[in-house]
Every structure is written in C-alpha cells, then in structure tokens.
C-alpha cells in the first residue's frame, strides 16, 4: 500500500509520543524509521517500531535519555547515551561531531550505553547532508563465528559511510560484515527463502544452509571469509574496546526479547568536514563527474545501468517524498496493532 510520507511520519511520531517520547525525540524516531522504509530498507523500517515501543514499555530504554559527554577534546568525544534509543543518541552524536568538525576539521565520537539505532545509512545520510564525509561502526549481538571458529564471538557489526554528491543522491554505503544481517536471516527463514552457501555454520562449526541449525545453536559467517572477519574484529575494537562499552561475547545485547537489562552495545563515529580540505561545491562536482563517468562504462550482459552505493535507495526516497511510501500490508497492520494498544486509532 502507498501512504503519504508526512502522514506516515506523523503516525509513527504519535506512537512514540504515546510511549513517552518528547516531541523532539518522537520526531527523530519517526524520521529514522520512515526514511528507512522509504529508502526500501524494510528490515530496518517501520516494522522495528513494535520492538522499539515494547523495549520502552518494559523500561529497557529511556525515551528521553539524559545524554552526557563523559570526556572531550577539540576533536574527540565520549558520550553516555543513558540507555536511550540509538536513533535519539546517535542523531545527537552526529550533531556533536559535526559541530566540532566545523571547528577542527574532523571529530571522532565513541558512544556507550545506548540501544539499537536502526539503519546505519540514515546517519550516513545525515552526515552527507552537512557537506561532510563520515563513517559509523556498531558493535552488535554476538551472532557470528570468527574465521575458523565453531562458537559465536563477533556480531554482524555493521559499517556505514556517507558522502555528498551534487545532482545525484549522496553516496551511502551501509552493510553488515556478515553475509546477511541477522534480521534478514530471520526473515528469510520465515519466508522459506533458501539460504546460500557460506551464510553460516551449525553448532559444530560445519558449513550449513539449514536456517534452523544456523540460527538455533549455530552462527552466521562474515562475508569474504577472513577479510570480513577482520573488518568485524576491527569494528569490535573501536565500538567495544575503545568506546569503553561491551566487547566480550556475553556482554553485547540488543535483543528485543530480553528482560529489562541495560543495553550494552557501543558505536564509533568519525566525521570530516569537507570545507577544511576543499570547497564543498567542488567536491560535489567531482563526485557527480565520477558518477557520470562510471555510468558510461561497458556493462555486463543483461545489466541496464551501473549503480553506486546509495543511489537506488536515494531514488526511492525521492519518489516516496513525492508520491508516498510503499509499505507492506503486514508491516502496516502490525504498526496499527501496536498503535491501538497505546490508545491510537489511525
């Protein structure tokens, strides 16, 4: 079904308000989820609202956290998220990093004590919209095996990067370091979609394509073998060890079904202000020039167009803002059920 972007955003915002979020934070959460839905990132869109609201209802997260700066220098910051939802906390982290980067040229932020932040591409886009380039790492639940291991130790540990373009949508790279994100693996299992080779291992560490064996006692594998594993380990170093947050296998948790336990995942954000290196307009022109040249390259058989990371999602967002958001009946139905349980009828 198609729902006008602002109408859907208003509805989602009202749901978060009903759960105790103040106006600013409810608007942030609505933007995070609806823009992700509009960009076609359905696994991290409006369907997350149910789990997010439930986490708030069960006091796992604070809807209006007292976000504090633990320590800072001209170009570094450590933030305590006060058990806030990741969307609220990381949005504030992007603001702080951007403000400092305007003064010093670059800023690194470590975030501890916050909850799931949704789609990393949302924050990469925020960075690009400020005429900056930056990346965001997240230390997640332990769902993957180290290369050669038979026991979970690292997570999907996603990586996001954003950079502005001129006439084109911003460059936005957003990916898990596992073959597929955990949420997508569960969705594939529910929908009966065959698991590809290399996606995971069973409880003995043997390669498997059986979703039950992988998700119940087994583990996911990182893409590219030892290379993806190396990236995931690196992300655990900066998002877990360096942030002062969880880094061991029994510590990092963001599971919606847990009891009221403190979220323990960490985030690592680095932002560079383009204006300290070249004129932002020149950077955007050069980006468009590179994209245009890439589009002229010879294409493989059956390929109509070569896309860069974030282009398809950017086009979808532009279309959704104009014509409405394409949301599945199931996702919207679940959202309406959650809204009704909080006294809202749309």
Question: What ranges do the domains of the chain cover?
Answer: 1-57+323-346, 66-176+225-296, 179-221
The pLDDT of residue 259 is: 42
Residue that the structure tokens 């803002």 belong to = 321
Topology classification of domain 1-57+323-346: Hypothetical Oxidoreductase Yiak; Chain: A, domain 1 (1.10.1530)
- Give tens-digit pLDDT for 4-47: 999 999 999 999 999 999 999 999 999 999 999 999 999 899 99
Length of the chain: 346
254 pLDDT band (50/70/90 cuts)?
A: low
Instruction: Find out whether 126 and 91 touch, Cβ atoms under 8 Å.
Output: yes
Q: What angle do CA 312, 313, 315 make, to 5 degrees?
A: 65
CATH of the domain spanning 179-221, picked from 3.30.60.50, 3.20.20.100, 3.40.50.360, 3.30.420.40: 3.30.60.50
69 pLDDT band (50/70/90 cuts)?
A: very high
- Residue 319: HSE in the Cβ half-sphere, 13 Å Cα cutoff: 13
Take residue 51 and report the two structure tokens written for it: 């789990």
Angle, helices 329-341/49-57, rounded to nearest 10 degrees: 20
- Give tens-digit pLDDT for 293-314: 999 999 999 999 999 999 999 9
CATH architecture of 66-176+225-296: 2-Layer Sandwich (3.30)
- pLDDT above 90: residue 180: no
- Give tens-digit pLDDT for 77-125: 999 999 999 999 999 999 999 999 999 999 999 999 998 999 999 999 9
Query: Bridge-partner residues for 173, per DSSP?
Result: 161
Instruction: Find out whether 140 and 165 touch, Cβ atoms under 8 Å.
Output: no
- Give tens-digit pLDDT for 257-288: 444 455 567 999 999 999 999 999 999 999 99
Q: Is 229 exposed, middle or buried (0-12, 13-18, 19+ CB in 10 A)?
A: buried
Take residue 185 and report the two structure tokens written for it: 């693996």
């Amino acid at each position: 079904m198609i729902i006008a972007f602002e109408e859907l955003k208003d509805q989602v915002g009202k749901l978060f308000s009903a759960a105790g979020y103040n106006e600013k934070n409810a608007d942030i959460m609505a933007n995070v989820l609806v823009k992700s839905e509009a960009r076609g990132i359905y696994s991290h869109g409006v369907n997350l609202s149910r789990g997010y609201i439930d986490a708030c209802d069960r006091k796992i997260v604070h809807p209006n956290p007292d976000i504090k700066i633990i320590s800072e220098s001209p170009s570094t910051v450590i933030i305590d998220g006060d058990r806030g939802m990741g969307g609220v906390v990381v949005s504030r982290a992007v603001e702080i990093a951007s403000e400092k980067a305007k003064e010093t040229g670059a800023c690194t932020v470590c975030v501890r004590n916050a909850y799931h932040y949704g789609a990393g591409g949302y924050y990469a886009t925020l960075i690009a919209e400020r005429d900056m380039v930056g990346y965001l790492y997240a230390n997640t639940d332990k769902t993957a095996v180290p290369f050669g291991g038979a026991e979970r130790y690292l997570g999907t540990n996603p990586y996001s990067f954003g950079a502005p373009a001129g006439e084109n949508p911003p460059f936005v790279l957003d990916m898990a370091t596992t073959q597929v994100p955990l949420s997508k693996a569960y969705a594939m299992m529910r929908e009966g979609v065959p698991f590809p080779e290399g996606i995971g291992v069973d409880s003995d560490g043997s390669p498997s394509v059986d979703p039950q064996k992988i998700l119940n006692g087994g583990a996911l594998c990182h893409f590219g073998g030892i290379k993806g594993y190396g990236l995931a380990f690196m992300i655990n170093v900066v998002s877990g060890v360096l942030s002062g947050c969880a880094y061991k296998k029994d510590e990092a948790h963001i599971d919606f079904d847990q009891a009221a336990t403190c979220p323990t995942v960490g985030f690592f954000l680095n932002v560079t202000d383009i204006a300290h290196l070249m004129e932002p307009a020149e950077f955007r022109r050069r980006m468009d020039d590179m994209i245009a040249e890439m589009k002229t390259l010879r294409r493989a058989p059956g390929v109509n167009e070569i896309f860069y990371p974030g282009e398809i999602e950017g086009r979808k967002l532009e279309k959704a803002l104009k014509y409405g958001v394409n949301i599945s009946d199931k996702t919207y139905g679940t959202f309406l059920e959650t809204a009704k349980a909080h006294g809202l009828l749309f």
